[in-house]
Structure 1
């Protein structure tokens, strides 16, 4: 599916996710206002609201009435592709195994 096949709100959702994935948007970064986003994407404010609702549902952003929308700390996990998620889990397991091996080699006798 190309960007042209997406609804306008879906393009906004995809763009925000891409910006998180690329590190341009990070945890607790504030998104521009609904009006600014509408102007930027050339859409109606309702379209932006629908995109923000989807992003909230997917765990990418959180909103505070009167303060705006912000990137969640867990946003990168929410937008990561399955391969990246699998690699992250493997890295965590390798780190855990390395730590256990170091304890065994040190002879401290601690068992997990």
Structure 2
């Protein structure tokens, strides 16, 4: 399944939903390790950062747990794990905001570099 640009959802939400469905179908049972970010990016034909955003959302929802250097694992559902639609919407919006802030930081860095180059008389590219 490739994340489609035609969908109304951003690609990271499409990937998160696909993984959530696979977990619910027990294709990835509780305690199992998910494929690596690189493998998921290849499988869903998206950038690795898109997969990272999808996994972050699933972590925030309590669906998976990640261990630095070891990967992401399907978490056992606690008894109170039912998330309201509002909670999922808020977490999606928060994840989108985090991505936007990261993007703005990159843009600011690029603008500052151009400004430094112009002040030093270097190329303004």
Pair 1:68–1:80, CA change in 2 (3 A) = same
Q: CA RMSD in A?
A: 2.5
Q: TM-score, normalised by structure 1?
A: 0.63
Aligned match of 1:67: 70
Structure 1: gaps spanning 5 or more residues: 83-112
Summarize deviations over 1:34-54 as a string: whole Å, max 9, x none.
Answer: 111111111111111100100
Q: TM-score, normalised by structure 2?
A: 0.57
The higher radius of gyration belongs to: 1
* Poorly superposed stretches of 4+, deviation over 4 Å: 75-82
Bigger fraction of residues in helix: 1
Aligned match of 1:91: none
Pair 1:52–1:79, CA change in 2 (3 A) = farther
Choose the corresponding residue for 2:59, options 35, 56, 77.
Answer: 56
